[in-house]
Amino acid sequence: MQSAANAPWTIESAEQTYGIHDWSSDYFDIAESGEVMVKSTINGTLAKISLMDVIKGMAERDLHMPALLRIENILDHRISAINTAFQNAIQGAGYQNSYRGIFPIKVNQQAQVIEEIVQFGERYDHGLEAGSKPELIIALATQKSEHSYIVCNGYKDEEFIDLGLRAIQMGWKCFFVIETPSEVPLIIKRANELSVRPMLGTRIKLSTRVEGHWQNDSGDGSIFGLNSLQLIDVIDQLRSAKMLDCLKMLHFHLGSQIPSIYNIRQGAQEACRYYISMVEEGAAMGYLDLGGGLAVDYEGAQQRTTNSKNYTLDEYCSGIVEAVMQTLDPENVPHPILMSESGRATAAYSSIFLFNILDVAHFDPIASLKEPEPDSDEKLKNLKELLGILNLKNIQECYNDANFYRDEIRQLFQRGQVALRERATAENLYLEVLQKIQQLAPDADTLSEEVQDLTRSLSDTYYGNFSVFQSLPDSWAINQVFPIMPVHRLKERPTREATIADLTCDCDGKLDRFIGGESTLPLHQLIEGEDYYLGAFLVGAYQETLSDLHNLFGDTNVVSIRINEDSSFDFVHEIRGDSIEDVLTYVEYDTRAMKEQFRRTVEGAVRDGKISVQTRQEILKSFSESLTGYTYYETN
Ligand code: PLP
In our burial notation (b when 16+ CB lie closer than 10 A, e otherwise), range 55-72 reads bebbeeeebbbbbbbbbb
* pLDDT tens, position by position, 346-404: 999 999 999 999 999 998 888 887 788 888 889 999 999 999 999 999 999 999 999 99
Which residue from 277, 252, 249, 273 is spatially nearest to 264, judged by alpha carbons? 252
Question: Binning pLDDT at 50, 70 and 90, where does residue 138 land?
Answer: very high
Cα 258 to its chain centre, rounded Å, is 16
DSSP 603: H
Q: Determine the Cα–Cα distance for residues 204 and 268; give it in Å rounded to an integer.
A: 12
Cα of 264 from ligand 1 centre, angstroms: 14
Q: Is the CB of 544 under 6 A from ligand 1?
A: no
Quick one: pLDDT at residue 3?
46
Q: Is the CB of 341 under 6 A from ligand 1?
A: yes
Atom of ligand 1 nearest to the CA of 256: 15
CA-nearest residue, atom 8 of ligand 1? 256
Q: Is the CB of 342 under 6 A from ligand 1?
A: yes
User: Which residue of 126, 156, 211, 253 sits with most ligand 1 atoms within 8 Å of its CB, as the best mutation to test the pocket?
Assistant: 253
Helix (H) or strand (E) holding 321, with range, is: helix 313-328
CA-nearest residue, atom 6 of ligand 1? 292
Q: Determine the Cα–Cα distance for residues 261 and 268; give it in Å rounded to an integer.
A: 11
Answer yes or no: is pLDDT of 528 > 80. Answer: yes
Mean pLDDT of 244-272: 96
**Mind giving me the DSSP string for 431-475?**
HHHHHHHHHHGGG-S---HHHHTHHHHT-EEEEESS-HHHH-HHH
Percentage of the residues of the chain whose pLDDT score is greater than 90: 88
> Which residues contact residue 196 at a Cβ distance below 8 angstroms, ignoring those fewer than 6 apart?
165, 168, 169
Q: Determine the Cα–Cα distance for residues 344 and 480; give it in Å rounded to an integer.
A: 13
CA-nearest residue, atom 11 of ligand 1? 292
Q: Determine the Cα–Cα distance for residues 17 and 11; give it in Å rounded to an integer.
A: 10
Q: Is the CB of 554 under 6 A from ligand 1?
A: no
**Burial level of 388, CB count in 10 A (0-12/13-18/19+)?**
exposed
Is 398 within 8 Å of 435 (Cβ atoms)? no
Q: Is the CB of 344 under 6 A from ligand 1?
A: yes
Is 178 within 8 Å of 289 (Cβ atoms)? no
CA-nearest residue, atom 9 of ligand 1? 292
Quick one: pLDDT at residue 453?
82
Cα of 201 from ligand 1 centre, angstroms: 16
> What are the beta bridge partners of residue 452?
none
State the pairing for strand pair 521-523/510-511. Answer: unpaired
Is 282 within 8 Å of 243 (Cβ atoms)? no
Is 539 within 8 Å of 547 (Cβ atoms)? no
Cα of 554 from ligand 1 centre, angstroms: 26
* pLDDT tens, position by position, 486-495: 999 999 999 9
Answer yes or no: is pLDDT of 16 > 70. Answer: yes
Q: Determine the Cα–Cα distance for residues 279 and 176; give it in Å rounded to an integer.
A: 18
Is 160 within 8 Å of 152 (Cβ atoms)? yes
* pLDDT tens, position by position, 541-591: 999 888 889 999 999 999 999 999 999 999 999 999 999 999 999 999 999
Cα of 459 from ligand 1 centre, angstroms: 37
Helix (H) or strand (E) holding 337, with range, is: strand 337-340
Quick one: pLDDT at residue 1?
46
Atom of ligand 1 nearest to the CA of 107: 14
Which residue from 166, 203, 169 is spatially nearest to 183, judged by alpha carbons? 203
User: Which residue of 100, 317, 341, 542 sits with most ligand 1 atoms within 8 Å of its CB, as the best mutation to test the pocket?
Assistant: 341
Atom of ligand 1 nearest to the CA of 129: 1
Cα of 472 from ligand 1 centre, angstroms: 19
Atom of ligand 1 nearest to the CA of 203: 3
CA-nearest residue, atom 10 of ligand 1? 292
CA-nearest residue, atom 12 of ligand 1? 292
Q: Is the CB of 291 under 6 A from ligand 1?
A: yes
Atom of ligand 1 nearest to the CA of 346: 16
- CA triple 155-157-160, angle to 5 deg: 90
**Burial level of 297, CB count in 10 A (0-12/13-18/19+)?**
buried
Cα of 183 from ligand 1 centre, angstroms: 21
Q: Is the CB of 343 under 6 A from ligand 1?
A: yes
The gap between the terminal CA atoms of the chain, to the nearest Å, is 37
Atom of ligand 1 nearest to the CA of 345: 16
Atom of ligand 1 nearest to the CA of 342: 16
Counted residue by residue, the chain has a size of: 636
Cα of 103 from ligand 1 centre, angstroms: 9
Q: Determine the Cα–Cα distance for residues 206 and 107; give it in Å rounded to an integer.
A: 23
Atom of ligand 1 nearest to the CA of 341: 10
Mean pLDDT of 230-247: 98
Q: Determine the Cα–Cα distance for residues 274 and 227; give it in Å rounded to an integer.
A: 10
Quick one: pLDDT at residue 566?
98
Cα of 132 from ligand 1 centre, angstroms: 14
Quick one: pLDDT at residue 2?
46
User: Which residue of 82, 102, 103, 106 sits with most ligand 1 atoms within 8 Å of its CB, as the best mutation to test the pocket?
Assistant: 106
**CB count in 10 Å sphere of residue 609:** 7
Q: Is the CB of 294 under 6 A from ligand 1?
A: yes
Atom of ligand 1 nearest to the CA of 344: 14
Q: Is the CB of 557 under 6 A from ligand 1?
A: no
Q: Is the CB of 320 under 6 A from ligand 1?
A: no
Quick one: pLDDT at residue 57?
98
Which residue from 272, 245, 275 is spatially nearest to 326, judged by alpha carbons? 272
Atom of ligand 1 nearest to the CA of 291: 1
Which residue pairs from 328-333 have beta carbons closer than 8 angstroms and sit at least 24 positions apart in sequence?
328/272, 328/275, 328/276, 331/276, 333/275, 333/276, 333/279
Q: Is the CB of 153 under 6 A from ligand 1?
A: yes
Cα of 104 from ligand 1 centre, angstroms: 6
Percentage of the residues of the chain whose pLDDT score is greater than 70: 99
Q: Determine the Cα–Cα distance for residues 355 and 534; give it in Å rounded to an integer.
A: 6
Q: Which amino acid is at 385?
A: E
Cα of 255 from ligand 1 centre, angstroms: 7
Task: Give the dihedral of Cα atoms 381, 383, 384, 386; nearest 10 deg.
Answer: 130
Q: Is the CB of 107 under 6 A from ligand 1?
A: yes
Quick one: pLDDT at residue 174?
97
* pLDDT tens, position by position, 18-53: 999 999 999 999 999 999 999 999 999 999 999 999
> In 37-150, where does DSSP find H-type helix?
51-60, 72-93, 111-121, 133-142
Answer yes or no: is pLDDT of 439 > 70. Answer: yes
* Residue 27: strand, helix, or coil: coil
Is 276 within 8 Å of 295 (Cβ atoms)? no
Mean pLDDT of 128-146: 95
Q: Is the CB of 108 under 6 A from ligand 1?
A: no
Cα of 212 from ligand 1 centre, angstroms: 14
Cα of 20 from ligand 1 centre, angstroms: 26
Longest dimension (CA), the chain: 98
Q: Determine the Cα–Cα distance for residues 101 and 122; give it in Å rounded to an integer.
A: 11
User: Which residue of 256, 296, 306, 344 sits with most ligand 1 atoms within 8 Å of its CB, as the best mutation to test the pocket?
Assistant: 256
Q: Is the CB of 104 under 6 A from ligand 1?
A: yes
Quick one: pLDDT at residue 5?
67
* pLDDT tens, position by position, 306-321: 999 999 999 999 999 9
Cα of 340 from ligand 1 centre, angstroms: 9
Q: Determine the Cα–Cα distance for residues 61 and 569; give it in Å rounded to an integer.
A: 14
